[in-house]
Amino acid sequence: MPFLLRPTLTLMLLCLTSLATAELDYTPNQAKTAIEVIEELSTKHYRKQPLDDELSSKLLHELIDNLDPTKSYLLQEDITEFQQWETRLDDMFKAGDLSAGFFIYNRYNQRTMARLQENISLLESDFQFDLTKDEYLPIDVGTNQWPATNADADDEWRKRIKEAYLRLMLNDKEPEEARKLLIKRYTNLRKQLDQRDREDIFQLIMNSLASLYDPHTAYMSPRSMENFRIAMSLSLTGIGAVLQLEDEHTKIVRVVPGGPADKQGILKAGDKIIAVGQGDKEKVDVIGWRLDDVVDLI
């Protein structure tokens, strides 16, 4: 019955599309900022270290290490592919070309999202861990090697999930509860990764470069700089509450004494913010938002 092939193929394509991740790219303003940052570091930092081929090689490895320090997601074939830029990042970045940096991130993001989904699918299946078999994971992640194939990565992750599963069992969790907790953990990691934007990636790339000059030099995005300024001045306008992200919700951890929320007397610790608005204006649904985006709206 050949007519059955088309609906099946369509369903498969829909499933694959739903798992696809949007690739991020840099903006013209970020290209300009990168040139300025490199100029500042090369001429005004006390080391007076130009961005050359030697530093380019270090930058490539620093960026990869910052993305995947435990060698959990990228494969050896990815690392081999990235090596084409080992002595080219300097010239590219100085020209405002950040395509290699964003390519590396997008590949990492693709691998990570796929891996986390595979972990979730494994835990949702009827797969049973062999708890009678002795298996080992390295304590020192610095000794890890990049997985050569997806099959190698699958086996390594099976052992990692088994180890996490056993730890939960040792903490008096029932088998089904342990599975649900791990599914929730990997689902939350996917959501957090999906909330990253191009400014986050640009900051990561620039910080990978800045850290090569000394460990105390860092690049801050406008949002990070504003958060730093608030922390240093200990002043914050808004609702006057300490917030944290819990699953998809922004949760009030503590109401700041003397702040607007405290004076109003309605909000309390444990409440969840589901929408933000002022007066009679339409409320904005913030479920699933990044915490800093919710704070900006408030």
**CATH number of the domain within which 274 lies:** 2.30.42.10
User: Is residue 230 in some structural domain?
Assistant: no
pLDDT at 284: 82
Quickly state the pLDDT bin for 220 (edges 50, 70, 90): confident
The answer to whether residue 234 scores a pLDDT higher than 70 is no
66 and 155 within one domain: yes
Cα–chain-centroid distance for residue 29? 23
Within 10 A of 5 (CB to CB), how many other CB atoms are there?
9
132 and 66 within one domain: yes
Quickly state the pLDDT bin for 138 (edges 50, 70, 90): confident
Give the contacts of 260 (CB within 8 A, at least 6 positions apart): 238, 239, 240
- Choose one of 192, 221, 250: the last residue of a domain: 221
User: Does residue 247 or residue 112 have the better pLDDT?
Assistant: 112
User: Is residue 5 in some structural domain?
Assistant: no
241 and 212 within one domain: no
Query: Which range marks the domain in which residue 94 is found?
Result: 13-221
User: Is residue 211 in some structural domain?
Assistant: yes
pLDDT at 109: 98
Domain count across the chain:
2
Instruction: Please indicate, yes or no, whether the overall pTM of this predicted structure exceeds 0.75.
Output: yes
pLDDT at 204: 96
Least trusted range by pLDDT, from 25-34, 110-119, 162-171, 260-269? 260-269
The Cα 21–Cα 105 span in angstroms is: 12
72 to each of 115, 116, 224, 277, how far by Cα in Å? Answer: 9, 11, 27, 41
- Choose one of 158, 192, 221: the last residue of a domain: 221
Mean pLDDT of 226-230: 68
Mean pLDDT of 191-210: 94
203 and 245 within one domain: no
70 and 158 within one domain: yes
258 and 216 within one domain: no
